[in-house]
Structure formats: C-alpha cells, structure tokens
Amino acid sequence: AQSVSQHNHHVILSEAASLELGCNYSYGGTVNLFWYVQYPGQHLQLLLKYFSGDPLVKGIKGFEAEFIKSKFSFNLRKPSVQWSDTAEYFCAALKGGSARQLTFGSGTQLTVLP
C-alpha cells in the first residue's frame, strides 16, 4: 500500500533560519505530490503541488519543494522562516491514473520563535 512518511514530527526554529521538512513516499509509479499547511485554528490549505515537469516547484509564501524521483522524496524548503509560518505541515501523495484518494503523512509541527 502507498504510504507517505514525514520523519520530523516537531521542528523548532528561530526567525530567519532556513527550513527543510522531509517527505518520502513509497509508491514507485506516476505520483502527484502536495504540501498542505494548517495554521492554528484554520483549515488545510494547499501550499504547493507537483504533477510533472520541473522537479523544483514554487508555492505560496516563499515555499518551494524539490521532487527527487530516485530518492522518492519531496522535501519542503524555505530559505528564511517567519513567526507566521508556525503551523502544521502535511505532505500528501496521489497515485497517478485512476486513484483519487490522497495519502497523507502524519504531519510536522513547525514552531518559529520570534
């Protein structure tokens, strides 16, 4: 069965630090990949997505992610975090073809200290 792993459960950074959150998926075929963010008290919002083409994708609020097929990874990065980036971040995968269900990782709670 397809699975998505996020190895960092809680990350604490100071403002202006660089961020990298790990995400690995298990499915070997065509896959669409997503990062969602959930700010405190708010619903899940799409941060960025990868379907095909350039493996480096840019999302909102200065976030980017790199798809590395050989490593089955889709890590999220931001060069300089802000206090307002404090949130829970979820990586998700959608198997290509007819499958429609998103498979989510368990999430990474990011706390940015002012």
Query: Of all helices (H) and strands (E), which one includes residue 8?
Result: none
Query: Of all helices (H) and strands (E), which one includes residue 83?
Result: none
8 makes contact with another protein (CB under 8 A) = no
- Classified as helix, coil or strand, 85 is helix
59 makes contact with another protein (CB under 8 A) = no
**Distance, CA of 89 to CA of 97 (rounded, Å):** 26
113 makes contact with another protein (CB under 8 A) = no
For another protein, which is the closer residue by CB, 34 or 63?
Answer: 34
Per CB under 8 A, contacts with another protein among 18-47 are 32, 34, 36, 42-46
For another protein, which is the closer residue by CB, 39 or 83?
Answer: 39
What Cα–Cα distance (Å) separates residue 44 from each residue in 28, 30, 54, 81?
Answer: 26, 24, 25, 19
Q: From the CB of 94, what's the least distance to another protein, in Å? A: 5
Q: From the CB of 26, what's the least distance to another protein, in Å? A: 14
